[in-house]
């Protein structure tokens, strides 16, 4: 969705800092230092970012040969040709450019804050609403957020890249921010009195 290596590293390290910040409130954030730094950041997130960016680069430079299905020489060629029907005609390139100016930096920082708040809300909602970790509601919420985030990120990136003097943020951006705020308010309402040991 984000398709920018620097922003992905900011989100990866930012979430680990969130875990350190809120580990006195959420028991499942209590990890050893090597789990946070070595396992999460340097192994899992590095591999995920590396694989994701290679996938983005692969699809960015993908060339198509428009040969009919009947002219494919092999069965595998016919299968690949059939499956390529479901890929987009072109892949848009996201250019976030957070250091283009102070306003752009704040706009990209806002995206990172909302993104981390959505991730953090997952854990706070589970804790405040006493939802067991294996409950399918947690997975359904994450799938719903994934489906909402795809057009949201696209709209927000288009908004940032648009050079028109009067421009509007898309409906999915507003919807995402509204849902995020409602989730935060739910955590504040039902979490009142649950956290006896503040920093």
Arithmetic mean of pLDDT over the chain: 85
pLDDT at 164 (0 to 100): 79
Q: What is the mean pLDDT of residues 15-39?
A: 86
Q: Which residue matches tokens 């020489």? A: 73
pLDDT digits (tens, 9 = 90+) for 155-193: 998 888 877 776 789 999 999 999 999 999 999 999 988
Percent of all residues in the chain with a pLDDT value above 90, rounded to a whole number? 44
Looking at per-residue pLDDT, the higher value among 40 and 122 belongs to 122
pLDDT at 50 (0 to 100): 93
Q: Is 172 helix (H, G, I), strand (E, B) or coil?
A: helix
Burial class (CB in 10 A: 0-12, 13-18, 19+), 75: exposed
The verdict on pTM exceeding 0.85 is no
Q: How far apart are CA 118 and CA 95, in angstroms?
A: 22
Burial class (CB in 10 A: 0-12, 13-18, 19+), 144: exposed
pLDDT at 66 (0 to 100): 47
């Amino acid at each position: 969705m984000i398709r920018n290596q620097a922003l992905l590293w900011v989100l990866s390290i930012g979430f680990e800092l969130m875990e350190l910040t809120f580990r006195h409130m959420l028991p499942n954030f209590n990890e050893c230092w090597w789990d946070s730094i070595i396992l999460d950041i340097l192994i899992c997130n590095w591999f995920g970012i590396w694989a994701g960016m290679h996938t983005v680069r692969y699809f960015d430079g993908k060339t198509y040969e428009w040969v009919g299905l009947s002219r494919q020489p092999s069965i595998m060629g016919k299968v690949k040709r059939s499956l390529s029907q479901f890929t987009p005609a072109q892949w848009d390139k996201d250019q976030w450019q957070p250091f283009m100016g102070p306003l752009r930096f704040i706009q990209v920082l806002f995206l990172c804050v909302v993104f981390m708040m959505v991730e953090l809300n997952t854990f706070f909602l589970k804790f405040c609403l006493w939802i067991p970790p294996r409950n399918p509601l947690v997975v359904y919420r994450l799938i719903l957020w994934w489906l909402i985030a795809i057009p949201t990120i696209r709209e927000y990136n288009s908004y940032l890249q648009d050079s028109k003097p009067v421009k509007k943020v898309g409906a999915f951006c507003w919807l995402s921010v509204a849902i995020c705020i409602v989730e935060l308010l739910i955590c504040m309402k039902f979490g009142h009195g649950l956290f006896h040991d503040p920093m």
